[in-house]
């Protein structure tokens, strides 16, 4: 069962947790191990979201995927298990402790060969990918520190091919996006990104009310 959904009421959340997805034994194990890290485990994506990412990647038959923010590996497991053997997932995270847990699960899921790890600050890593102009991603998932969300979007969009899909997590931010008394850096950055995407003619988008909100952008 996933951690509490921050934006849907308890009864509905419980209903979704019973019928809304089928979580593999390995993903359950990953979620249980992550819970042992304490309150920080809230950073993990919801199970319904993981299932959604998996279906999306199966339908999209993406060849070159990117994830910014790995944590203990849940979403990277969903993405890498869904793509074909000759497809690749580049992941970026700057935390060794989390990456070590993720690596253990990639091994168990037999997806190590598909994953290219960049252990670096995401802004630095993305700037380097930007200078390597032949790098084109057809799928990307942004789920790292929220304060840099606009910068991540700006750096990733030019790296994406037309027809590609960009997903961004936590875009409803437990409802803090509409609470104007909340002016933290993270909240302000998510608000700015939501506004930017709304005005961005390069993409077609939808904010999904799944888990903590996830925006899906189609690159035109
Ligand atoms: C919300 S968690 C990612 C959750 C993950 N997608 C999952 O499936 O559970 C955010 C991750 O971003 C990483 N992170 C935060 N700031 C970063 C930065 N500036 N550069 C690289 N990684 C960063 C953290 O170490 C953490 O693992």
Question: Does residue 143 have its Cβ closer than 6 Å to ligand 1?
Answer: yes
117 C-alpha to ligand 1 centroid (Å): 13
- ∠ CA 73-77-78 to the nearest 5 degrees? 125
- Average per-residue pLDDT for the chain: 95
The stretches in the chain having pLDDT less than 50 are: 1
131 C-alpha to ligand 1 centroid (Å): 23
Element holding 218 (H helix, E strand): strand 214-219
Q: How many CB atoms lie within 10 A of CB 92?
A: 24
125 neighbors 152 (Cβ within 8 angstroms)? no
The Cα 135–Cα 151 span in angstroms is 18
Locate the ligand 1 atom nearest the alpha carbon of residue 99 and give its number. Answer: 27
The Cα 58–Cα 78 span in angstroms is 10
In this prediction the pTM is 0.96
pLDDT of residue 133: 65
pLDDT of residue 26: 98
Q: Which of 44, 69, 174, 213 to mutate to test the pocket of ligand 1 (most atoms within 8 A of CB)?
A: 69
pLDDT of residue 1: 47
pLDDT of residue 148: 98
pLDDT of residue 7: 77
123 C-alpha to ligand 1 centroid (Å): 12
Q: Whose CA is nearest to atom 16 of ligand 1?
A: 145
Q: At what angle do helices 96-108 and 74-82 cross, to 10 degrees?
A: 40
Each domain of the chain, given as residue ranges in start order, spans 10-219
CATH number given to 10-219: 3.40.50.150
pLDDT of residue 9: 85
145 C-alpha to ligand 1 centroid (Å): 6
């Amino acid at each position: 069962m996933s951690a509490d959904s921050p934006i849907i009421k308890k009864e509905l959340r419980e209903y979704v947790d019973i019928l809304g997805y089928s979580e593999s034994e390995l993903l359950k194990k990953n979620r249980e191990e992550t819970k042992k890290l304490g309150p920080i485990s809230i950073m993990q994506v919801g199970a319904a979201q993981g299932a959604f990412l998996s279906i999306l990647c199966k339908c999209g038959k993406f060849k070159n995927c990117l994830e910014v923010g790995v944590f203990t590996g849940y979403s990277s497991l969903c993405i890498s298990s869904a793509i074909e053997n000759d497809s690749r997932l580049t992941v970026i995270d700057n935390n060794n402790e989390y990456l070590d847990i993720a690596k253990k699960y990639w091994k168990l899921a037999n997806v190590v060969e598909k994953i290219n790890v960049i252990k670096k600050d995401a802004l630095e890593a993305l700037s380097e990918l930007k200078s390597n102009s032949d790098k084109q991603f057809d799928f990307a998932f942004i789920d790292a520190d929220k304060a840099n969300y606009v910068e991540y979007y700006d750096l990733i969009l030019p790296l994406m091919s037309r027809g590609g899909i960009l997903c961004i997590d936590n875009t409803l931010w437990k409802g803090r996006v509409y609470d104007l008394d909340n002016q933290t850096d993270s909240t302000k950055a998510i608000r700015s990104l939501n506004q930017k995407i709304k005005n961005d003619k390069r993409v077609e988008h939808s904010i999904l009310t799944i888990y903590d909100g996830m925006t899906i952008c189609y690159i035109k």
